[in-house]
Structure 1
Amino acid sequence: MEEAVKLLKLVEGRKLSCVEEGYSIVIQALCEHQLVEEASHLFGRMLSQGMKPKLVICNSVFSMLCKLGNLDNAKRVLEIMNEKICLPDNFTNSALTLAYGEARNWEDVYGLLIEMLGLAYLHIFTHIV
């Protein structure tokens, strides 16, 4: 993993067009190995350089944090997604619901499910009208 990060920094330094894709590949690998600090650092670096990670990258970081029970940082990623990048999808909401359940945070599970039902209703309603 260290070599991949070094290579990514080399590509970044040369301002090659494949930098964003390189970040995506390395971040996903870091998330799969649950290397939180490294993945979070690169994710933050992408954002600070004005790159917009794809939904799959956001979900990888988000899901890793949820699986590890790091809900505070997962919520921050969710806020970043909502504000700057993309709307969460079913995968995002499922990961958060499972994390809340693991933490036995039933009030937040209920709130999220109500929110998801409201969004589904709104989506259906807008397609009917």
Structure 2
Amino acid sequence: EMRRRSCAPTGVSFNTLMRGFFREGRYKEGLKVAYEMLQLGAGLSVASMEILIGGLCRGGEALKAAEVFAEFLVDAVVPEGFDCLDLVESLCHVGRVDKAVEIVELVLERNRACCLSVPAGVTVLECLMKAGKLDDVCRLMGRMVGEGIVPDTISCNCIIESFCEAGMISDANRLRILTKEKGFAADAATYSMLVQGFGRQGRVKEGMCMLQTFFGHMEASNCKTSHSLCLEFMCRDFGGT
């Protein structure tokens, strides 16, 4: 009707129409609106992408949403500022962690880290950890951190703990060093897990070196606590060495 009256539809008009289709479960028609926006040169805004991807995911079409997002990302029509959190959460929820990993890797490959928030990245890493795929966690987290996407302290410690418990202490320490370069500040819990990990493997020198690093990062006001932890770790993990 707007075309018949020579009125150019706006982004708001398209978004309203697309949202209406998704609310009624008419996903194909909602998707058609998105393609029409691109064909007419209207482009997709962050709101448009949220309506599109969110509508598909809420409608149980997470795989279709992933397909569309990947297509739009390759075609460079995904607007800066769109976060793929809802998409990766939906994929993980339906058990398609592999597809969620593909989405994250594609975002990084296309240098669109702006579309991957820390919560989105952490969601995928946590799902991989639950599946016991620690090698994939190490690889993917390394790529994420390289792009400046650094998990928060609690998430980093959970990942490091999983590595230590699996005997992958060297990988855990490499992640600590890598994230440190991007702003992660290891705390007492971080060093505790690493020292204990080295201790369980009988790697006394590396454990002691980690303790020295721990001392170097503690503020003067925490010296008493630091020394107490040191003695505790030495007695428990190194037999009083």
Aligned to 1:35: 133
Rg: which structure is higher? 2
Aligned to 1:91: 189
TM-score (norm 2): 0.43
Aligned to 1:4: 97
**1:60-89 CA deviation, whole Å, 9 max, x = no partner?**
332222222223222211111221131111
1:104 to 202, 211, 236: 202
Amino acid in the other structure paired with 2:131:
H
1:58 to 151, 156, 165: 156
With a CA cutoff of 8 Å and minimum separation of 6, indicate the structure with the bigger relative contact order.
Answer: 1
Amino acid in the other structure paired with 1:55:
T
2:168 to 49, 66, 70: 70
CA contact (8 A) 1:78 1:88 kept: yes
Amino acid in the other structure paired with 1:82:
K
* Percentage identity across paired residues of the two chains: 20
CA contact (8 A) 1:5 1:26 kept: no
Q: Distance in 2 between matches of 1:95 and 1:75?
A: 10
Aligned to 2:116: 19
Higher-helix-fraction structure: 1
**1:22-43 CA deviation, whole Å, 9 max, x = no partner?**
2111202322333112212321
CA contact (8 A) 2:164 2:197 kept: yes
Unaligned runs of 5+ in 1: none
3-state SS, counterpart of residue 186 of structure 2: coil
Q: Distance in 2 between matches of 1:72 and 1:111?
A: 13
For residue 6 of structure 1, report the CA deviation from its aligned partner: 1.3
**1:35-55 CA deviation, whole Å, 9 max, x = no partner?**
112212321232243322222
Report the CA distance shift for 1:18/1:91 in structure 2 as closer, same or farther (over 3 A). Answer: farther
CA contact (8 A) 1:24 1:57 kept: yes
Q: CA RMSD in A?
A: 3.1
TM-score (norm 1): 0.72
3-state SS, counterpart of residue 167 of structure 2: coil
**1:2-38 CA deviation, whole Å, 9 max, x = no partner?**
613414618958x7x7732121112023223331122
